[in-house]
Amino acid sequence: MDVSIVVLAWEDIDRTAQCVRSLPTAAEIIVVDNGSSAPIRDAVEALCGEVGAQYVQSGENLGYARGMNLGARHATRTNIILANNDVIVHSDSVDRLLAALDAPDVGAAFPQVVNPDGSDETAGGRFLTPGLGIAHAVGLNLLVPRLRITAEPAVADWLTGPFVVMRRRDFEAIGGVDETSYFYSEDLRLCWAVQRKLGMRIAYITDATINHLGDASSQRRWSSAEIAQRQTREFVRAARQLGGGGSGRIAATAYTLGALWRGLLGRDAVRRGIGRGALEGLRSR
């Protein structure tokens, strides 16, 4: 099987073991321990020895992007998969994702993501434009679905990426995972690079399925409101940076205004976290 699968793990042996054992044995499997404590680090290394995976130790928590890029530098096969450690891969899903790359215009392929209870978790959205940002600011997106930043996976500009396959040459051509962000928005930035830098498209493969066991690393560190704040901050920051010049700034500012008034009107901590995150994303470098 001509694919290298990079699994990024941090402070979690149980989910990492479930993930690695669900992967095709014919693939080149690379497990990056992203700065775990000694007991977890030793357990991950032992797991790799047991299943024949390559073990890579980062020495510290590099964040998602740098950790994945570290693992990718050890890949030797034609195609590469970036995998969270909290996924379980269904039989034949890797083959189906690889088959999507037979189409020369496909730069990245994503599976259907399901929760442990079988419900669909696949999520995606649109790149933020001035029009979408203004619609969000004035509430028009509540009335017109096509003006929302979320989108059905089949027509989305970007998809969340706990498991994504690319040709290794394409992955290297975009510079790997964008290290501008420490955590969150990497999948958006990757999809943007595939489309805008390579002129290719992303593919959503519905008959390739993975189970996502949960955003384990985040939930151990942050509350739901803090996660929402961080996700929104990185979304707005990415939109501002990738949009380029005045267009990106207008889109990000308009979206932030909408997030702020929703946060003021909303009574829950998550809405307020989204508002704070949007403001941080507008101001941060």
Q: What is the pLDDT of residues 177-209, one digit of tens each?
A: 999 887 789 999 999 999 999 999 999 999 999
Confidence tier at 222 by pLDDT (50, 70, 90): confident
* CA-based nearest residue to 89, from 192, 210, 178: 210
pLDDT digits (tens, 9 = 90+) for 118-170: 899 999 999 999 999 999 999 999 999 999 999 999 999 999 989 999 999 99
Lowest pLDDT segment from 100-109, 177-186, 215-224 = 215-224
| pLDDT (mean) for 96-122 | 96
What pLDDT is attached to residue 181?
A: 80
Q: Are 35 and 239 in contact (CB under 8 A)?
A: no
The token pair at 231 is: 């996700």
Q: Give Cα 78 to chain centroid, integer Å.
A: 21
Which position has the higher pLDDT, 244 or 73?
Answer: 73
What pLDDT is attached to residue 219?
A: 55
Strands 28-33 and 163-167: unpaired
Full set of structural domains in the chain with CATH? 3-123+160-220 (3.90.550.10), 221-280 (no CATH)
What pLDDT is attached to residue 161?
A: 84
| pLDDT (mean) for 80-89 | 97
Q: How far apart are CA 14 and CA 11, in angstroms?
A: 10
Is the sign of the CA dihedral 179, 181, 184, 187 positive or negative?
A: negative
What pLDDT is attached to residue 245?
A: 78
Statement: residue 217 has pLDDT above 70: no
Confidence tier at 221 by pLDDT (50, 70, 90): low
* CA-based nearest residue to 201, from 101, 111, 127, 129: 101
Confidence tier at 216 by pLDDT (50, 70, 90): low
| pLDDT (mean) for 256-265 | 90
Mean pLDDT, rounded, of the chain: 94
Statement: residue 73 has pLDDT above 80: yes
Q: Are 123 and 152 in contact (CB under 8 A)?
A: no
What pLDDT is attached to residue 285?
A: 77
Angstrom distances, CA of residue 167 to CA of 77, 145, 276? 9, 33, 37
What pLDDT is attached to residue 184?
A: 85
Sorted by sequence, the CB contacts under 8 Å of residue 36 that are 6+ apart come out as: 9, 10, 11, 12, 44
* CA-based nearest residue to 67, from 81, 75, 76, 56: 56
Statement: residue 173 has pLDDT above 90: yes
Q: Tell me what percent of the residues of the chain surpass a pLDDT of 90.
A: 87
Statement: residue 215 has pLDDT above 70: no
